[in-house]
Amino acid sequence: MIEETGRVLSIEDGFADVETIRTSSCTSCRARHGCGHHAIAQVSSANRMRMRAIDPFSVEVGQKVVIGIPEDTLLQASVWMYMIPLLGLVGGAVLPSLWGGGSGIAVIISIIGFAGGLLLARNKSKQEMNNLDYYPKILRIETTQDSQRPLVFTS
């Protein structure tokens, strides 16, 4: 389960709008100088993200919560959004070589294959828009007060 902490902004019929603050571990990574994610994190000023999450706990506005999404759900969505257009691009580039087509035709067909993959991903996204498996879910409510008191030893 991939988890993130956020604050509840609003509540509506079994759902809660949760704002999370995007954190980056780029400062502790040795590969940050050659990483594209580090460059994007440097440029992007918007580090807050607002999302709609399933609310099984009847949370209140202002509460700090932990939301999560299963890894397999994220993997499946990533395949549709990244892999399918990429396969269309590569397939479109390879297809003309099977019948001896020129490189100009390969470029055109690869662009058509990429666009077709994007359309497939878009249609899949529209089909799954109301599928609750793809929504993050509130896993628990974070407590604001510490239930443990520190021990004080006097001599």
Q: Over the stretch 63-102, which tens digit does the pLDDT of each residue have?
A: 999 999 888 888 888 899 999 999 999 999 999 888 888 8
The answer to whether the predicted template modeling score (pTM) of the entire model surpasses 0.75 is no
The three-state (H, E, C) secondary structure of the chain, written as one string = CEEEEEEEEEEECCEEEEEEECCCCHHHCCCHHHCHHHHHHHHCCCCEEEEEEECCCCCCCCCEEEEEECHHHHHHHHHHHHHHHHHHHHHHHHHHHHHCCCHHHHHHHHHHHHHHHHHHHHHHHHHCCCCHHHCCEEEEECCCCCCCCCCCCCC
